[in-house]
Amino acid sequence: MWQDLQDCLFDAPFTVIAVAEEGRGPEQARPWIEQARPGYPCLIDSDHRVSALYGMVNVPQCVWIDERGVIVRPPETAGSTDHFRRMDMATRTMAPELVEARLAARAAYFQAVRDWVRTGKHALPGDAARARLPVITAAMAQADALFRLALHLRRLGQDGEAAEHFAEASRLHPDSWSMFRDSQVLEPSGFAGGAAFWERVNALGDKPYYPQPVL
């Protein structure tokens, strides 16, 4: 889908820059990137530094940056929705109307990107953009440091100590699904979408997993 957007705007001063958050290291992300054969830069962030700098908490999220290097839309959900929460857990499938609604939301978001590139629509003025920027609290900064320490310890094979830091990072920054999901990938099961993930999702209640952007 990102390649379609890049191809659609081939004649515009625009490029997609994708960042894969992969705590297990570049070689885990490389096959997916090579298989996609993207025509735009793909970076691999093994330490979640981009998330920490921009205040991202989930994937996919986008930041719109104009030709001056100015953020005109802070991090927001990029075309994904919560329809997956209503899937049939036995078959891991969604009803056709849910699939259609999810695809419609994705199409609307990508159309908004195209409108921005072509006409400037949806770009926020400075004050409005600043108001939507995530506030990085001391707890979030500490969580980021602990998370990256946990990744480092895991790479050294010190799993027990790493697990303690993962848990504390998630406690300090419970809104960061990226931290939680990547720490779950590094668990012995190696599965980020397992029982622990669904338990956490279900505990959200009415709170969205993918907050929808206001366009």
SS3 of the chain: helix, strand, coil, percent, to 5? 50, 10, 40
Residue where a domain stops, chosen among 109, 132, 155? 132
Q: State the Cα–Cα distance between residues 213 and 116, nearest whole angstrom.
A: 14
Stated pTM of the model: 0.91
Instruction: Write out pLDDT tens, residues 18-49.
Output: 999 988 889 989 999 999 999 999 999 999 99
Residue 91's CB is within 10 A of a number of other CB atoms, namely: 7
Cα–Cα separations (whole angstroms), residue 185 to 56, 61, 130, 202: 19, 19, 33, 19
Cα–Cα separations (whole angstroms), residue 63 to 34, 90, 97: 24, 35, 29
Count of structural domains within the chain: 2
Whether 215 is in a domain gets the answer: no
Looking at every residue in the chain, the average pLDDT score rounds to: 93
For residue 13, the 8-state DSSP code is S
Whether 54 is in a domain gets the answer: yes
Whether 210 is in a domain gets the answer: no
